[in-house]
Amino acid sequence: MRFFFLLIFILVPIIEIWLFIQVDSIIGLWPTLASVVLTAVIGTWLLRQQGFAVLMQGRAALEKSQFPLEQVIHGVFLLIAGLLLLTPGFFTDAIGFICLVPPLRLAIAYGIWSKLKDHVHVVHPGMAQDPQGQGHRRPEGGPVIDGEIIEDDPANEPERPPNPNSPWKQ
């Protein structure tokens, strides 16, 4: 996994530099720089629009007492998109714009989940865990334990004589 991140940190700047040189040779320096700034502005505007929409959908799901799983997925991808769109470069902008397409976000997330689900153990709210760490749903009509709370007030307790056999003697 470390090698993967090292490879990304080395390859992405090389790809960005190569793309800058290619685009610059086709349209020139100033249009290239203008396009980088323009994609950042457009991406930020789209990010803001979609972010507010996802936030409202998440709040609506919470008001219905539902866990907003898809909205959380969208939020994570929007965060990634924002970081990529604010990073100057054509390659990162392309990946950032891909993260702004809602059906692609869900497809990518479920694809990642299908790869990871055999290696990750998830216990959902409302699930119990057995000693082996496996989750299972709690029975709906589980046992009810009736109890009473008694608060002890140390001021009302009678004074006890010290125990002569206690190892905690003074």
Q: What is the pLDDT of residues 128-139, one digit of tens each?
A: 555 555 555 555
Digit-coded pLDDT (tens) for 153-163: 777 777 777 77
Supply the pTM of this predicted model.
0.63
Question: Mean pLDDT over residues 4-17, rounded?
Answer: 90
pLDDT in tens, 13-71: 999 999 999 999 999 999 999 998 998 888 888 888 888 888 888 899 888 888 888 88
Q: Is residue 12 within 8 Å of residue 83, measured between CB atoms?
A: no
pLDDT value, residue 27: 93
Please provide the average confidence, as pLDDT, over all residues in the chain: 82
Domain boundaries, the chain: 10-118
